[in-house]
Chains A and B, each alone.
Chain A
Amino acid sequence: MIPELGNIALILALCMAVIQSVLPITGTFTNNQALIRLARPAASLQLTFMVISFACLLYAFITHDFSVRYVAENSNTRLPFIYLVSGVWGAHEGSLLLWALVLSIWTMMVNLFSRGIPEDMVARVLAVMGLISIGFILFILLTSNPFARQFPVPIDGFDLNPLLQDPGLAIHPPMLYMGYVGFSVAFAFAIAAMLQGKLDAAWARWARPWTMASWIFLTLGIALGSWWAYYELGWGGWWFWDPVENASFMPWLVGTGLLHSLAVTDKRNTFKAWTVLLSVLAFSLSLLGTFLVRSGVLTSVHAFASDPARGVFILIFLVIVVGGSLSLFAWRASIFKNNVRFNLLSRETFMLLNAVLFVVMAGFILLGTLYPLLLDALNMGKVSVGPPYFNTIFIPLGIPIVLILGIGITARWKQDNGSRLIKALRMPMILSVVLGTVTAVVLVRGVFTAELASFKFIGAELALILAWWIVINSGKLITDRLKNRDNKMSGLQLIPRAVYGMTVAHIGVAVFVVGIILTSLFSIEKDVRLSNNSSVELAGYEFVFEGVRNVLGPNYQAAEGRVLVRKDDKDLVLLHPQKRYYPVKQNTMTEAAIDASLWRDLFVALGEPLGGSPDKSKLEPLDKSNTGAWSVRVYYKPFIRWIWLGALIMSIGGFISATDKRYRVRKLAKQLNMQDNEVATGA
């Protein structure tokens, strides 16, 4: 009953999406207020039905309704409750339902927080989002329905992929989807403006908070995915340039460029064409990512069960949405006429340069990801493009971005002057080289005990100089604003939140850069054979192996090791790495044990029992194992937490910016009303 209800709710949501889109759009062309006003209520109803639909699927999981094929494929009676919930989006059909739900949530939020925007503009925005909803719901209903039943009903289900049985992974998809799908709002605003045939000054101001909110979610979602991969997959990696990872990184890069471009369009009323294009591009990349993950054109660890038929549907959808938007863009080229001038040497130029660099970076990742496909399509054989390629290109493209960050925030709007700029940058340049070198020496000699005359030192020095470059220029921005004030405290309060937000976010970038470079250069790993009470030394730490015992989990059995970590003859921490066996899907999983800290992670993972049974896929009860020796992998990963910390700080900066009072449109409208009244009554 409930699954059928869910299916019906989905169909009703589709109907609401149609009403939300087709009718209001027609209304905007024929100036029919009644049709225009249908958008908001239709959006509310769409959300209601989507929530009902999703709730029905959730109910089916919680009540172990294995007559629903999707539930049986992704859960069983022994699955812990939290994974019954996260299992809802654990595979293709359910994750699509989540996509559609998140889209209806964003639609509702636009509905609720758009009172200061003209009604016909809101109607257009909601209509465009409605069209996208139609596409996704139709896709679910026609090709990927999670409510499909099966007979006979199995007694128990399969297991949720053990890799997904983790709290970090439970939250990663919802966060990502809030980000990806959120870019549809900026997209809808861009389309709405083009449909309107007028790109007025307020457009950028309206679009900014929505873009910022999605960007924050996407940043957190990607960081969560990276962090999860690190502690769950067991080999200490945190980014693999896997096609699906790239599919999330590309919209992020373009989204970041878009944020900067929107800021300029808002403040300086220029770059309109570019900002509109980026808005379209960011969401297009989200859709492209959806295509790549679900169509089977690329192999990926993340790929859902792929199916070319589904791929065709998404491709057609892509052609309509993206092709339509880009055609609209070309057709409406005239509305982007721009009379605003700025000098070649100006903050505008640097902001534009920044956006261009981000797009180029997204472009090269797209090139690398699709290159195997391109060559295969041209019958030129099969190649692989993996981390060695991406890492090699990423660094030289990334360095200019960081450099321009410092220059851009220092340059003046509209017209700056070469010698003034150089003079302003001189102190930061010197300071960052000095501080960068000093901190590099301290770290490389003191902490990592590596040689100064080495490639690694140069790499560390470069990273630290770049990081200090960002920090010093950002700090200077703030101190310059306080220069002529006597009261520094009130000066600090007068600085807009958006400036603080920007500074915090940029510092997040510096932290991120330090994290990725230092951990890449100075991580150490060792594979050793350990038996009871033997130990291995790594980076000044001693890892003492105290043996392995059997433990039982809710849906797994595990061999749990005890590893004591010591430093300078003092006990530091006891680690319990596990090797788990999940009987239902017959998977073996390695759960690494990590001692985390701000400055370094110590990472221990169990390999195989040595001298044990020939069939290594089965876990022997350990009293049978004769030598008690295991192969063990030990890692020292310095500064690795800085990577995700940097991303978190970036998000916080974004959040601070988003709460700047310039976005309190309603409050302002109220104030304005009061002012009008005062003027009228002569008060």
Chain B
Amino acid sequence: MAGIEFAEFDDPEQAELYKIMVDELRCLVCQNQNLADSNAPLAKDLRNEIQKMIKQGNSRDEIVDFMVARYGDFVLYRPPFKAYTLILWLGPFIGLVLAIYILINIIRSRSTQQSDEISELDKQRVSDLFGTNTRTDKK
């Protein structure tokens, strides 16, 4: 757990921005923690730096640019929306739409085909009654 230092801000909006920044930036030393939770000395330094920048009035984008210029996109837990992350951000929704579309088509094409007079299911029922398989009551 991180040393709990005090990033004290007079302006609650600044406090909110700080919280968002240290949550969404990745620690480069303890790479499985965000800046908020990491105990690494570098994380501490970066938290101080961010605090300073916020108090100087820098915006979220400016802080993000500062970090990315020095450490690359790796430092962002929220991947940027760029050409090479298009699949990442859009993929799930395209996948969803595609999956549903294919599903509906398959079901439609099946249900419009002529079904047999006696369905496979009924044939099964008959053989169950007189055969060795048993089925309990079905709902």
Contact = CB atoms under 8 A, between A and B. Distances in A.
Interface of A: 201-202, 205, 233-235, 242, 267-269, 299-301, 338-344, 348-349, 352-353, 356-357, 359-360, 363-364, 367-368, 371, 375, 380-389, 392-393, 396-397, 496, 498-499, 527, 529, 590, 605, 607-608, 616, 631-633, 661-662, 668-669, 672
B3 A607 contact: yes
Contact of A299 (B32, B37, B103, B120): B32
Nearest to B71: A382
Given A339-B119, A381-B73, A499-B139, A608 B4 contact: yes
A349 B107 contact: yes
A393 B75 contact: no
B70 interface: no
A301 B32 contact: yes
Interface string B75-103: 11111100011011101110110011001
A363 B1 CA distance: 32
Contacts of B134: 668-669, 672
Contacts of B56: none
A339 B88 contact: no
Contacts of B73: 381-384
A363 B84 CA distance: 19
B3 A608 contact: yes
Contacts of A382: 72-74
Given A339-B120, A384-B79, A631-B5, A267 B26 contact: no
Given A384-B77, A397-B96, A499-B139, A269 B124 contact: yes
Interface residues of B, number: 56
B36 to A, nearest CB: 8
Given A348-B107, A356-B99, A631-B6, 6 more contacts: A384-B77, A388-B78, A389-B78, A605-B4, A607-B3, A607-B4
Interface of B: 1-6, 23-24, 26, 31-34, 36-37, 72-80, 84-85, 87-89, 91-93, 95-96, 99-100, 103-104, 107-108, 110-111, 113, 115-116, 119-121, 124, 133-139
A269 B4 contact: no
A269 B135 CA distance: 12
B113 A341 contact: yes
B22 to A, nearest CB: 11
A269 B76 CA distance: 48
Contact of B1 (A343, A344, A590, A662): A590
12 contacts: A205-B135, A234-B1, A342-B107, A344-B108, A348-B107, A352-B107, A381-B72, A496-B137, A498-B139, A605-B1, A631-B4, A632-B4
A269 B120 contact: yes
B136 A668 contact: yes
Contact of A385 (B5, B88, B124, B138): B88
A530 to B, nearest CB: 11
Contacts of A375: 84
A352 B103 contact: yes
Contact of A384 (B5, B75, B92, B124): B75
Contacts of B103: 349, 352-353, 356
Contacts of A631: 3-6
Contact of A633 (B4, B26, B137): B4
B88 to A, nearest CB: 5
Nearest to A365: B92
A633 B4 CA distance: 7
A616 B44 CA distance: 13
Contacts of A356: 99-100, 103
Given A201-B124, A339-B120, A367-B88, A267 B3 contact: no
B115 A529 contact: no
A647 B99 CA distance: 28
B99 A383 contact: no
A341 B110 contact: yes
Given A301-B32, A341-B111, A356-B103, A202 B3 contact: no
A355 B75 CA distance: 35
Contacts of A242: 32
A343 to B, nearest CB: 6
Contacts of B24: 386, 388
A269 B26 contact: no
Contact of A364 (B84, B95, B107): B95
Nearest to A240: B32
B14 to A, nearest CB: 15
B92 A364 contact: yes
Nearest to B73: A383
A389 B79 contact: yes
A346 to B, nearest CB: 9
A235 B33 CA distance: 11
A590 B37 CA distance: 12
Contacts of A349: 103, 107
A98 to B, nearest CB: 24
B120 A360 contact: no
A232 to B, nearest CB: 10
Contacts of A661: 136
B121 A269 contact: yes
B133 A386 contact: no
Nearest to B104: A344
Nearest to B102: A356
Contacts of A529: 6
Contacts of B89: 389
Contacts of A496: 137, 139
A367 B91 contact: yes
Contact of B79 (A202, A371, A672): A371
Given A233-B1, A235-B1, A235-B37, A386 B107 contact: no
Contacts of A233: 1
Contacts of A616: 3
B3 to A, nearest CB: 5
A269 B115 CA distance: 15
Nearest to B76: A384
A356 B124 CA distance: 28
Contact of A267 (B5, B87, B119, B138): B138
A389 B24 CA distance: 10
A384 B6 contact: no
Nearest to A359: B99
A384 B80 CA distance: 9
A386 B34 contact: yes
Contacts of A338: 110
B136 to A, nearest CB: 4
